[in-house]
Amino acid sequence: MGPDEASSSAIELQHAYPDDTPRGTSPERRVEDGDAHEMPSLPPVDGGKDAWLFLAACFMIEALVWGFGYSFGVFQAYYSTHEPFANKGSVAVIGTCAMGIMYLDTPLIMYLHRRFPKPARYSTILGLLLMCLALALSSFSTTVTHLIITQGVFYALGGSVAYASCIIYLEEWFVARRGLAFGIMWSATGLAGVVLPLVLEYLLQAKGYRTTLRVFAGVVFGLTAPLAWFVKPRLPVARVGSARRVELGFVVRRPFVLFQVFNVLEAVGFFLPGIYLPSYARGVLGAGPFPSVVAMMLVNVASVFGCVAMGWMIDRLEVTRCLLVSTVGATAGTLLLWGLSVNLPVLYLFAVVYGLFAGAYTSAWPGIMKVITGRGSDGSGSGHGKAADPSMVFAFLAMGRGVGNVISGPLSEVLVGGMPWKGQAFGGYGSGYGGLIAFTGASALLGGGSYVWKRLGWM
């Protein structure tokens, strides 16, 4: 190892140790009990076999954890029409619990992961086992309450625990290509959103919910258990001290507060097309069952490319400019294409545009994480005080998106209640979904508010 590489490794190792490590102890001396002057060899960052295996494992975990949650509509339709759950209330609560908890508990899971890094090394496999157990237990459910506890709460907790390491360790494996790596990982949700609903629908109709849940539990374990080994830190975990302090002061400082406000505003409208596009295609445009589902499939397919493209952009452009690109595309697509759609091809075009731009919004989060962690504790950019942890910035952004997700459900019922503007306007605005379309477009527009505040010098 040459002197430049050794110096770089020493700097990386210095950041790998908690703040309570005794001062004056060199990074080399803290790694092993052997030769104190021996510099450990670290795998390469931003590339190499280990980095790409790590990203491949995270991609698969992302697809199964979040893809299953986003596919709950298939289960909701089945449970609502088949015994022993037919005509029972609260079926929708199962999916709300699963998605809502995975978003909202992210700060707590990330905090515990950072606070206790040594035992957290095994969190991925433990979370995957809890997910599989939750799915297996849900196959024995005979009431909706049982499903809420197993397929809803337990699955969400397992998914959150399994997913946390992917976010935290990615910061170590990718630096110059961090945005691209996040974009690739997050694109897995869109890909799973195309494949899983079709597979689950077939299994439910052919085998019933008990077999479907057991088969999927086996698939999750079979695909992810071997890969869990590769979800590991690149830097060695500190030997001295089992806990570390976590900086949370950034949450109440103006830069993050502004980013979070716009993040929540965008999320409130983001989920609405996913809820109503199939219903719109069937009820307004007269499409059959499969053509109606194609609209949502196109959103998911387009989001795969949108996430990767945004990840590439965020490594090269200032974050508010990237958010502006997402905002302009999502707003124009919603208000012009969905708002004026009078046939299925135009609706499909909207689905592609919405997936490309709105689906890429969260892939700009690495840019927000970079801005917040690059500031000092006073938020002024002075560099004084302890810097914020990027994984905790992500965690609170995810929580904000969860808040938007929870709000969007009951809000959507209000927006379509009474079919406002029906027969009084052109295209989608006169379909009875006009209020929903207008609100979705306005929400997308407000999501880009950080660009304005940045130009005004507030961020």
C-alpha distances in Å from residue 35, one per residue of 13, 29, 39 = 16, 8, 9
Question: Domain 49-228, CATH 2.30.40.10 — does that match?
Answer: no
Segment 358-417, tens digit of pLDDT: 999 999 999 999 999 884 333 444 333 457 888 899 999 999 999 988 888 788 878 888
pLDDT given for residue 243 in this prediction:
57
Residue 196: count of CB within 10 angstroms of its CB: 22
For residue 201, CA distances in Å to 39, 77, 204, 209, 290 come to 54, 10, 5, 10, 12
Residues 6+ apart with CB under 8 A from 122: none
Tell which CATH architecture fits domain 249-455.
Answer: Up-down Bundle (1.20)
Residue 244: predicted pLDDT? 64
Which of 34-48, 132-146, 233-247 reaches the highest mean pLDDT? Answer: 132-146
What is the per-residue pLDDT for 166?
A: 92
Query: For the segment 411-443, what is each residue's pLDDT rounded down to a tens digit?
Result: 887 888 878 888 778 888 888 889 999 999 999
Residue 147 class from Cβ within 10 Å (0-12 exposed, 13-18 middle, 19+ buried)? buried
In this prediction the pTM is 0.81
Which residues make up the CATH 1.20.1250.20 domain(s) of the chain? 49-228, 249-455
Question: In the chain, count of helices (H) and strands (E)?
Answer: 20, 0
Q: How confident is the model at residue 238 (pLDDT cuts 50, 70, 90)?
A: low
Binning the chain into helix, strand and coil, the percentages to the nearest 5 are: 75, 0, 25
Q: Which of 269, 283, 265 is nearest to 433 (CA)?
A: 283
